[in-house]
Amino acid sequence: MKRAFNIEVPRQDLDREVLAWMAEPRWLFDEKRFDSLARRLFSFQFEHCPAYGRYCEGRGVNPGNLSHWTQIPPVPTGAFKEIELRCFPAEQTLRTFRTSGTSGQKQGALHLDTLEIYEASLIRTLEHLVFPDYETHPTGSWRLPMCILAPTGLESPNSSLSHMFDQLVQAHGSAETEHVVRHGTLDLKSLQQTQNHVHASGLPWILLGTAFSFVHLLEDMTKRGEQWKCPPGSRVMETGGFKGQSREIPRADLHGWISERMGIPLSRIINQYGMTELGSQFYDSTLVDPGGPRRKLGPPWVRVRILDPKTRQPVEPGETGMVVIHDLANTGSVAAIETADLGHHILNPQGKPVGFEILGREPDAEKRGCSIAADEMLTRPRGHR
């Protein structure tokens, strides 16, 4: 069946517009601009990612009847475990990032034919939300000692997190920067040597890594009765939960433990929310808005919606629902992602959303996502509903 809505949207034009937005020094949350770009990106992805096109047709949505970006069907993260969701030939794949998982589990995958947008998004967001006090550095560039509690991208090439840390180190890490997780083990001796060197220098120290790596470090420090007093300006960025680990620690307790042992104020301990399937990430707000409530913030080329898991309609402001993310950095994949997480918007005194908070996993969300992928993306013929 020939479809009248088959309108070609050049990928290079979309990439160029997204990159231009990312390059702007001041963040502007332009709704008109986002809507226009999101709908044109949808037209491209509908045509060039056949599985996604089938999925959208099954919901009665196509580029010809779409009037606003909020009507774009999001894909469950579970679908990335079942189908290769890419808008380019497989042989053009430059890099594939995969979700973590235990042996034998299917892993979700993000396939990329270019790293330019992906890297521009992660660096600009880190600079703006984790290092806002360095964005206006008088020299135009800045470098700080960093301690990375994660393996390098060379050791873990499928990890989007390791790639992010590598890019940050390349852009802003000083000569004292070091990765202290090697072959899956935290090198406590090397970390201590680096800490001693940084402490003697008096320079701010940046520690970044997974939450569970911080737990291992803190357990060792507590066992030895060790406490640091990190230089002013130091900060911590931790990410990832405790899925598949032997125990779980509430985030507030983890941050309190970090603050107590490392001498870093709670306002300078930042949690990152991200996922392999996305091209952009979110961070706690305390460094850019120390007087406001702690909440997750993201860049202007991303939108977050909170939907009722059953009706797929927006919940009332502040109520709990399923987190859906629309990320324009995902030009070569699928921009609209239905996460397996529950959350709610944080509201200002006027009742306007100013960020969001993650509350936990939605029960059976991953399983439903895989089922949807298998049943609808693989079997429905294009052009039929």
Assigned domain for 305 exists = yes
Assigned domain for 384 exists = no
Q: How far apart are CA 118 and CA 280, in angstroms?
A: 7
Q: pLDDT at position 190, please?
A: 87
Residue 290 has pLDDT above 60, yes or no: yes
Assigned domain for 129 exists = yes
Assigned domain for 98 exists = no
Q: How far apart are CA 173 and CA 171, in angstroms?
A: 6
pLDDT band at 234 (very low <50, low <70, confident <90, very high): very high
pLDDT band at 370 (very low <50, low <70, confident <90, very high): low
Q: How far apart are CA 240 and CA 309, in angstroms?
A: 23
Residues 240 and 343 in one domain: no
Q: pLDDT at position 385, please?
A: 40
Q: pLDDT at position 149, please?
A: 94
pLDDT, average across residues 202-228: 92
pLDDT, average across residues 329-344: 96
In tens, the pLDDT along 9-43 reads 789 999 999 999 999 989 999 999 999 999 999 99
Residues 46 and 70 in one domain: yes
Structure tokens at 306: 């909170």
Q: Which domain holds residue 183?
A: 116-294
Out of 279, 294, 309, a domain closes at 294
Give the range among 139-143, 259-263, 330-334, 371-375 with minimum mean pLDDT: 371-375
Residues 321 and 271 in one domain: no
Give the range among 84-88, 148-152, 202-206 with minimum mean pLDDT: 202-206
Residues 84 and 233 in one domain: no
Residues 284 and 151 in one domain: yes
Q: Which of 170, 153, 261, 173 is nearest to 214 (CA)?
A: 261
In tens, the pLDDT along 48-76 reads 999 999 999 999 999 999 999 999 999 99
Q: How far apart are CA 166 and CA 169, in angstroms?
A: 5
Q: pLDDT at position 76, please?
A: 94
pTM for the whole structure: 0.92
Angle at 119 between CA 106 and CA 107, to 5 degrees: 0
Amino acid, res. 365: A
Give the CATH number of the domain where residue 205 resides: 3.40.50.980
Residue 365 has pLDDT above 80, yes or no: no
pLDDT band at 137 (very low <50, low <70, confident <90, very high): low
pLDDT band at 384 (very low <50, low <70, confident <90, very high): very low
Report the half-sphere exposure of 332 (CA within 13 A, side-chain side): 23
Distance, C-alpha 50 to centroid of its chain? 25
pLDDT, average across residues 168-181: 92
Q: pLDDT at position 192, please?
A: 86
Residue 133's SS3 state is: helix
Residues 250 and 155 in one domain: yes
pLDDT, average across residues 358-368: 75
Assigned domain for 100 exists = no
Assigned domain for 104 exists = no
Residues 68 and 161 in one domain: no
Residues 256 and 147 in one domain: yes
Q: How many structural domains does the chain have?
A: 2
Residues 369 and 349 in one domain: yes
Q: pLDDT at position 141, please?
A: 77
Sign of the dihedral through C-alpha 243, 247, 250, 255? negative
Q: pLDDT at position 2, please?
A: 41
Residue for token pair 């460094």: 287
Mean pLDDT over each residue of the chain, to the nearest integer: 89
Give the range among 11-15, 57-61, 244-248, 263-267 with minimum mean pLDDT: 244-248
Please indicate whether residue 367 or residue 245 has the higher confidence score (pLDDT).
Answer: 367
Residues 282 and 314 in one domain: no
Assigned domain for 343 exists = yes
Out of 294, 325, 351, a domain closes at 294
Query: Using the 8-state DSSP alphabet, how is residue 373 labeled?
Result: I
In tens, the pLDDT along 99-115 reads 976 555 788 999 999 99
Residues 135 and 69 in one domain: no
Distance, C-alpha 274 to centroid of its chain? 3
324 bridge partner residues: 305, 338
